[in-house]
A and B are shown apart, each in its own frame.
Chain A
Amino acid sequence: MATPQDDEVSYDVVIVGAGFAGAILAKQLVAEGKSVLILEAGADRGEDWRTYRDYLDQYFLAQAKTPNSPYPNLPTLPSPSVLDITAVHGTQPDTNGYFVQQGPLPFGSNYLRAYGGTSLHWLGTSLRMFPADFEMRTRFGRGVDWPFGYQELRPYYEQAEWEIGVSANAEDQTPEALGIHVSEPDDGKNFFESGYDYPMHPIPDSYVARYIAEAGDGTPVATGVRSGWGGKPEPGLDVVDIKVSNTPQGRNSTPRHGKKIMVAGREREAFEPRGGTGAFAFIGQRCEGNSSCIPICPIQAKYTAMKTLADARANRTGQLQIQTQSIASQVETAENGCVSGLVYKRYPFPGVPQYELRRVRAEHYVLAGGAVENATLALASGLCRSSQELGRNLMDHPYMMTWGLARDPVGPFRGPGSTSGIGSFRDGVFRNEKAAFRLEIGNWGWNFAAGAPYSDVARMVGEENLFGRELRQKLFHRVQRQVRVGILVEQLPEPSNRVTIDPAYRDPMGQYRPVIGYDVSDYSRAGLALAHDACIQLYRRLGVENHTAYNPSDSGYFTHEGKGYTVFGSGHIVGTHRIGIDPKTSVTQPDMRCHDHENLWMVGAGSMPTIATSNPTLTLAAMGFMAAEAINRALQ
């Protein structure tokens, strides 16, 4: 390896990755007068409106409109793509895409290596975890406990909600309001600080969500039923009623005015929503219903990390440098374990495997590249060896879908991907035996499930031999009745679900590709099966004609108690460098400082010891505020 050229400037903090976590850290550090450098591997800046418009055009022209489709995918800087996912067979790993998949199930999630990170194509769902989620070991004998509880994280959730700009009503989001039979009676107490509320009013529930709520609310689901019990609930176990609720979302609605709101102990002015980033970005504040949050919000009404990065750059208290086209390659350590430098590859021409090897130095170093990239870089650098946990305990929300045709038109393909869901099963005593889950009501018909409306046109024209007037009418009546419910189930931390590296697998820049071993345990499978049954009961009650089909040739197909199901990834990549007190069983301290390296911090969803049923973004953002506080303290 060539000798790296040292950068002339050094910084208080170097952050690897310009995504959710990196942006929040940068903003908080700069606000305290620190000098910060962000190294971003991606090549361009979507905050420039021309680049962002190019993203949009690329989306329009993409035949497969996958989450990553609008964004650059350089051969030299590959991002994992859902199109690369195939079943893993036998003993040979699947190397179709960027990931090297060892199976037995393929890891179906993706992320984006670009300026703004995966925030460019997230859906915007901004859920808090529940008190029980921090105590999985104590309460259910499953997984691990967190080193802190819900109440300790609560003020940071408030900060995260105000940073992202979340639209919701606090009173709609308590465990009680969601219809949850909490596993301990006190869980609902002080769930929100008194006087707290979200910065913006809720995003209105979609018509289809209200349609489902009207007839579906109150559908009883026995969370303890096992096959062979004749449908009767087991003694002592709960029957939980389905309840549709509004989902807190990181997209702009109407700011809350005229109410003093305390955020992390500070009274806040009314929230000022941010629209697009960059010059000339005067359009797009409130969500206008573009129905394309994944993969791209054309008007940036949905939060992206680019907004926080823009704030950070505008703050002149400290200094922020953002350097793209710079791939962090090696974290160098001194004998005492401290990080002495970060070696990175700066490439002048996107897509060409040529680079200049450079080294940057700082007081503190932060890895914020996402759970998979953080683990890969740390493993490649031989870091964090006290525990055997680095790269392990990889989690996701295995994502399963059910879909059908309603009796009436429900107005799909309008508005955000999901405005509402069913949170009633996000906690309960059943978690002793099976995973908790959340149901998400989709607003885009069978788009995710079956490629609607393209597939409807292809089938009606190609197989049903329709044309003209009749084609037009049947399309309306079929597609208008499409209903889809997504199931997101929790996974437990398991050592065999892991990211490793192997010298045999490198990308064109010579960087290690992530090698992933992954499976969905019986615990999660049991949760999926219960969720599936809940959907079917709901469909019976609504008179929805069930069209759900799981095919043994699907890449994510598995069986549970004799029935087949298909799962996908949800892009909620969690848990490769979890926090904890004990250096033997965790990678970082509770404040995300590495046990083994005093000036190295690992942030993002990789820090989470368990995944719970909430999409991890809000939690990783809250933990980002926590880590920023700790780093600011460490720098004093």
Chain B
Amino acid sequence: MDEVADTGFSAFIALSAVLTGYNRAELHATGCAQDYWQQLRQVTPPAILEELLDLGPALDAAMATDPEAGERQARRDVLGSEKLGPPARSLIQLWYLGQWTPLPLEWRRAWGASRFDVGRIISTRAYKEGLVWDAIGAHPMGAKQQGFGAWALDPPQREG
């Protein structure tokens, strides 16, 4: 991997952390980060990808100092953007579900269609590492089982 791509990857992780609400370590721990990075690059035209990645580290830093301001900025610059919003939303779902969600038709018309922009579960690992299972306080159905009788215990506790 050359240096440029490497910088891109860490910006991708920074952006992903902002969008998912999981920190870098948690994202790396899925073991799926490289696959998702590859998927995003295959689907997004280079210029748009660059714009997204440029925003990532700054947003991540903003989030660290003032989360509310960071969130406002993310909405304004990324999620509220007609150009950057759709790939960002597909990226969130990719992390949460291990599954690529195809971009909307209007977006494809405006910015170009990729033959990799099809709905699919990236890998068996991606299915099991979907962040949604942790977020809902459970485990991926069919994997990472909790043990006999765990279903009878009190629900997990979460703050907030």
Interface residue from A62, A412, A471 paired with B138 (Cβ < 8 Å): A412
A472 within 8 A of B: yes
Q: Are A467 and B19 in contact (CB under 8 A)?
A: yes
A409 interface residue per 8 A CB criterion: yes
Inter-chain CA distance A444–B133, complex, in Å, is 12
Q: Mark B126-143, 1 if CB is under 8 A from A, else 0.
A: 011001110111110111
Q: Taking the complex as formed, is A394 at the interface, i.e. its CB lies under 8 A from any CB of chain B?
A: no
Query: What is the bound-complex CA distance between A476 and B147, given in angstroms?
Result: 21
Contact of B135 among A62, A206, A475 (CB under 8 A): A475
In the assembled complex, which residues on chain B have CB atoms less than 8 Å from the CB atom of A411? 137, 151, 153-156
Known contacts A60-B128, A414-B139, A467-B79; A461/B148 CB under 8 A? no
Shortest distance from the beta carbon of B143 to any chain A beta carbon, whole Å: 7
Bound complex: CA of A289 vs CA of B146, how far in Å?
6
Interface residues of A in 70-94 (CB under 8 A from B): none
Q: Find the A residue at minimum CB distance from B153.
A: A207
A286 within 8 A of B: yes
User: Is A21 part of the contact surface with B, judged by Cβ < 8 Å?
Assistant: no
- Tell me whether B121 is interfacial, beta carbon within 8 Å: yes
Instruction: Tell me the smallest distance from the CB of B107 to a CB of chain A, in Å.
Output: 13
Chain B nearest CB, measured from A59 CB (Å)? 6
Q: With a CB–CB cut-off of 8 A, which chain B residues contact A288?
A: 145-148
A500 at the binding interface (Cβ < 8 Å): no
Q: Are B137 and A476 touching (Cβ within 8 A)?
A: yes
Q: Are B99 and A63 in contact (CB under 8 A)?
A: yes
Give complex CA distance A310, B65 in Å.
63
B152→A61 contact, CB < 8 A: no
Which of B119, B121, B152, B156 makes the CB contact (< 8 A) with A205? Answer: B152
For the complex, what is the distance from the CA of A134 to the CA of B1, rounded to whole Å?
Answer: 72
Q: Give 1 or 0 for each of A199-211: 1 = CB within 8 Å of chain B CB.
A: 0000011110010
Tell me if B83 is interfacial: C-beta within 8 Å of chain A.
no
**A349 CB to closest chain B CB, in angstroms?**
27
Task: Indicate whether B120 reaches chain A with its CB closer than 8 angstroms.
Answer: yes
- B24 at the A interface (CB under 8 A): no
A227 sits at the interface (CB 8 A): no
A60 to B101 Cα, complex, angstroms: 16
**B18 interface contact, C-beta 8 A:** yes
Known: A468-B20, A476-B158. A60 touches B151 (CB 8 A): no
Query: Which one of A286, A287, A410, A467 contacts B155 once the chains associate, using CB atoms below 8 Å?
Result: A410
User: Of B71, B124, B155, which contacts A61 at CB under 8 A?
Assistant: B124
B160 beta carbon closer than 8 Å to chain A: yes
Closest chain B residue, CB of each to CB of A254: B148
Instruction: Kindly identify, within residues 29 to 67 of chain B, every residue whose CB is under 8 Å from any CB belonging to chain A.
Output: 63, 67
Q: In the bound complex, what is the Cα–Cα distance between A266 and B20 (angstroms)?
A: 60
- Report A23-78 residues with CB < 8 Å from chain B CB: 56-57, 59-63, 65
Given contacts A60-B124, A462-B89, contact A480 B137 (CB under 8 A): yes
A207's partner among B63, B88, B147, B151 (CB-CB below 8 A) is B151
B151, A415: Cβ atoms closer than 8 Å: yes
Judge whether B96 is part of the interface by a CB distance below 8 angstroms: yes
Q: Does A277 contact B (CB under 8 A)?
A: no
Of A379-387, A452-460, A510-518, A544-552, the stretch lying at the interface with chain B is A452-460
* CB-based nearest B residue for A457: B96
Once the chains bind, are A469 and B142 in contact (CB under 8 Å)?
A: no
CB distance from A503 to the nearest CB of B (A): 39
> Which residues of A, 280-330, contact B by the 8 Å Cβ criterion?
286-292, 296, 298-299
Decide if A370 is an interface residue (CB 8 Å cutoff).
no
- Complex Cα gap A262–B160 (Å): 55
Q: Does A344 touch B at the CB level, under 8 Å?
A: no
Which residues of chain B are within 8 angstroms of A471 by Cβ–Cβ distance?
20-21, 92, 96, 135
The answer to whether the Cβ of B93 comes within 8 Å of any Cβ in the partner chain is yes
- With contacts A468-B20, A480-B137 taken as known, whether A290 is within 8 angstroms of B92 at the C-beta atoms is no
Known: A289-B147, A414-B150, A476-B158. A296 touches B142 (CB 8 A): yes
User: What residues on A are CB-neighbors of B136 within 8 Å?
Assistant: 412-413, 445, 453, 456, 475-476, 479-480
Contact B21–A298 (Cβ < 8 Å): no
Min CB gap A504→B, angstroms = 35
Complex Cα spacing A288 to B148, Å: 4
Contact among B88, B143, B149 with A60 in the assembled complex (CB-CB below 8 Å): B143
Find the A residue at minimum CB distance from B96.
Answer: A457
Q: For residue B128, which residues in chain A have a CB less than 8 angstroms away from its CB?
A: 60
Check: B14 CB closer than 8 A to any chain A CB.
Answer: no
Residue A416 is within 8 A (CB to CB) of chain B in the complex: yes
Chain B residues, Cβ within 8 Å of A412:
136, 138
In the complex, which residues of chain A have a beta carbon less than 8 angstroms from the beta carbon of B89? 461-462
Chain B residues in 8 Å Cβ range of A465: 75, 79
A8 CB–B CB distance under 8 Å: no
Residues of A within 8 A of B88 (CB): 467
B142's nearest neighbour on chain A, judged by CB, is A292
Instruction: Name the one of A60, A205, A299, A408 contacting B127, with C-beta atoms under 8 angstroms.
Output: A60
Q: How far is the CA of A78 from the CA of B155 in the complex (A)?
A: 41
Rounded to whole Å, the gap between the CB of A365 and the closest CB of chain B is 38
23 CB < 8 A contacts A-B:
A60-B121, A60-B142, A63-B99, A63-B121, A291-B138, A298-B142, A411-B154, A414-B138, A414-B151, A419-B151, A453-B133, A454-B132, A461-B96, A465-B79, A467-B18, A467-B20, A468-B19, A468-B20, A468-B71, A468-B74, A471-B21, A471-B135, A475-B136
A residues whose Cβ falls under 8 Å from a Cβ of B: 56-57, 59-63, 65, 204-207, 210, 253, 286-292, 296, 298-299, 408-416, 419, 443-445, 447, 453-454, 456-458, 461-462, 465, 467-473, 475-476, 479-480
Q: A-contacting residues of B (Cβ < 8 Å)?
A: 18-22, 63, 67, 71, 74-75, 79, 88-89, 92-93, 96-97, 99, 101, 119-121, 123-124, 127-128, 131-133, 135-139, 141-143, 145-156, 158, 160
Please give 15 more A-B residue pairs, beta carbons under 8 A apart, in addition to A457-B96, A467-B92.
A60-B128, A60-B143, A288-B147, A290-B142, A290-B145, A292-B142, A409-B155, A415-B151, A419-B151, A456-B132, A467-B21, A469-B71, A470-B21, A472-B20, A479-B135
Top 10 nearest A-B pairs (CB, nearest first) are A415-B151, A411-B155, A413-B138, A292-B142, A409-B155, A468-B21, A479-B136, A414-B151, A204-B152, A60-B124
